[in-house]
């Protein structure tokens, strides 16, 4: 659960996904892009939606679906992948 309204990247969400945890996050700032469809996005100021999501997670099927999606994105934001992308940007910028 990441109800934050102000995330530059959403590192807690990425860390949770890397550990195989499904993510439920606020539909604001960088979180929709960070999750890229592999998590549940909720309105940040809707406590009923958050309560419903917590109840749904207890059922097991939603939790397993989110976990599966998280594991599918695990390798996209690892140190090697991020470093390789940064190197590509530097090489492109310097010719």
What is the rounded CA–CA span in Å between residue 73 and residue 7? Answer: 19
**Regions of the chain with pLDDT less than 50:** none
pLDDT at position 81 is: 85
Q: How far is CA 35 from CA 2, 68, 78, 92, 95, in A?
A: 11, 13, 15, 27, 32
Question: What DSSP assignment string belongs to 43-91?
Answer: -TT-HHHHHHHHHHHHTSHHHHHHHHHHHHHGGGGSHHHHHHHHHHHHH
pLDDT at 87: 95
Q: Where exactly are the structural domains of the chain?
A: 11-94
CATH of domain 11-94: 3.40.50.2000
pLDDT in tens, 40-54: 999 999 999 999 999
Which pLDDT score is estimated for 42?
97
Q: Is 33 exposed, middle or buried (0-12, 13-18, 19+ CB in 10 A)?
A: exposed
Q: Provide the 8-state DSSP code for 10.
A: -
């Amino acid at each position: 659960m990441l109800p934050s309204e102000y995330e530059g990247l959403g590192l807690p969400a990425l860390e949770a996904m890397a550990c195989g945890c499904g993510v439920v996050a606020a539909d604001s700032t960088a979180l929709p892009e960070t999750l890229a469809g592999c998590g549940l996005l909720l309105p940040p100021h809707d406590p009923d939606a958050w309560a419903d999501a917590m109840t749904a997670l207890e059922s097991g099927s939603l939790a397993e679906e989110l976990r599966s999606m998280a594991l599918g994105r695990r390798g996209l934001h690892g140190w090697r992948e991020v470093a390789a992308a940064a190197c590509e940007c530097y090489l492109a910028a310097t010719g």
